[in-house]
């Protein structure tokens, strides 16, 4: 959804109605998760995807129908082996889509949502998926305000509270309520889609490998910062336009930076005068991933220095060094793929093993 919002915002600002299909629930090996979206706009233009191609044709028709009727619909697609040409998911999973019409009159806050996402302001969009409340009705919730209604004041109050909780986690989930927001009932199903600011990737050491890691971090949706104390290397020309480049001592910059449980820290300096004070700071603050480049000998020497600096074993166990998965990588670009693979595997609980050697669902439910 985040990727297609600029196009949708243009349609909305021009007063052009469009059909928006959003994945609200998945089961088993579904190709895309909750929040994936596809829209059909003027001249049958399509943006986004909900299944990677399996059911897009049927969703295209549904989107046209809801725009024509003005009524939202809930649709489920699963696997069927009865007819080779039946619409379904070849992966064997199941997805549930909410397909709704979006117009300036029915969804006046849509432009504000797009502006908040573009500006990095956290926001959650709550949409009625099923039940006695108006299907497709939206309530937009920011940390300090809200806009819209789901049709009942009590429901708005309960959903607003839950939306702010999910926003803090950056989660998108289905919630169930009574008609007036009763929490022990499940008459009304509401999809809460959170747009938290992109997670940060902090890359220390402005070397060739840093440029490759920064590129792949930007590709994965991270807000990337590269930091190095040497101005001759830390030049914006060496990095993608979207990457922030900072000239500062790494440990000093990190001490003043904001990190959270989604932050990725890649230490590529492999120089003790930079590594030790930097990792001492990194291993004592929130982060999803802390990796350091270097040989196994460098790693052992680094661990010894960090122990001398006072770090405990629990802190040292957070360090992934040498960073990356064993792909046999050689070039900076290949090493960047190796690092990205380890970050993704850690995020979703993947084993890093070839899929041909594993069993069970390819896309298991997220923990």
- Residues 306 and 279: beta-carbon distance below 8 Å: yes
The average confidence (pLDDT) of the chain is 90
According to DSSP, the residues that pair with 244 across neighbouring strands are 225
| Region 144-150 average pLDDT | 95
Upstream peptide bond of 228 is cis (omega within 30 degrees of 0): no
Return the HEC string of 252-265: HHHHCCCCCCCCEE
Farthest CA pair distance, the chain:
70
Q: Answer yes or no: is pLDDT of 191 > 50.
A: yes
- Residues 62 and 75: beta-carbon distance below 8 Å: yes
Provide the 3-class DSSP secondary structure of residue 60: helix
Measured CA to CA, the distance from residue 35 to residue 97 in angstroms comes to 10
Sign of the CA dihedral with 275 first, then 277, 283, and 286 last: negative
Question: What pTM did the predictor assign?
Answer: 0.68
pLDDT, tens digit, 9 for 90 and up, residues 204-219: 999 899 999 999 999 9
Measured CA to CA, the distance from residue 113 to residue 140 in angstroms comes to 8
| Region 240-254 average pLDDT | 94
**What pLDDT, on the 0 to 100 scale, is given for residue 28?**
63
More confident residue, 59 or 361: 59
Which of 77-91, 215-229, 263-277, 313-327 comes out lowest in average pLDDT?
77-91
């Amino acid at each position: 959804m985040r990727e297609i919002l600029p196009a949708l915002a243009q349609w909305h600002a021009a007063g052009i109605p469009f059909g928006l299909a959003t994945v609200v629930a998945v089961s088993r090996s579904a190709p895309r998760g909750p929040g994936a979206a596809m829209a059909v706009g003027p001249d049958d233009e399509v943006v986004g995807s909900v299944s990677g191609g399996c059911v897009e044709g049927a969703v295209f028709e549904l989107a046209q129908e809801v725009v024509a009727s003005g009524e939202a619909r809930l649709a489920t697609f699963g696997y069927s082996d009865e007819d080779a040409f039946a619409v379904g998911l070849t992966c064997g999973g199941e997805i549930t889509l909410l397909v709704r019409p979006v117009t300036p009159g029915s969804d006046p806050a849509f432009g504000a949502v797009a502006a908040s996402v573009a500006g990095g302001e956290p926001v959650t969009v709550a949409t009625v998926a099923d039940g006695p409340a108006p299907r497709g009705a939206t309530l937009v919730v920011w940390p300090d305000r809200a806009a819209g209604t789901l049709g009942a004041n009590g429901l708005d109050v309960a959903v607003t509270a839950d939306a702010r909780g999910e926003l803090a986690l950056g989660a998108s989930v289905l919630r169930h309520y009574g008609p007036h927001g009763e929490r022990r009932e499940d008459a009304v199903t509401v999809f809460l889609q959170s747009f938290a600011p992109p997670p940060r990737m902090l890359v220390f050491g402005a070397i060739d490998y840093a440029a490759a890691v920064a590129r792949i971090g930007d590709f994965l949706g991270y807000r990337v910062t590269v930091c190095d104390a040497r101005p001759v290397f830390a030049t914006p020309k060496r990095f993608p336009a979207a990457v922030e480049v900072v000239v500062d001592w790494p440990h000093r910059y990190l001490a003043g930076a904001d990190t959270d449980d989604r932050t990725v820290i890649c230490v590529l300096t492999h120089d003790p005068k930079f590594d030790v004070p930097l990792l001492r700071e990194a291993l004592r603050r929130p982060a999803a991933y802390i990796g350091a480049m270097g040989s196994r000998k460098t790693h052992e020497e680094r661990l010894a220095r960090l122990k001398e600096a006072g770090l405990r074993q629990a802190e040292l166990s957070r360090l992934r060094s040498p960073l990356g998965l064993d792909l046999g990588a050689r070039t900076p670009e290949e090493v960047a793929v190796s690092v990205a693979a380890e970050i993704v595997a850690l995020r979703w609980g993947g084993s890093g093993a070839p899929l041909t050697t594993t069993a069970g669902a390819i896309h298991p439910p997220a923990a």
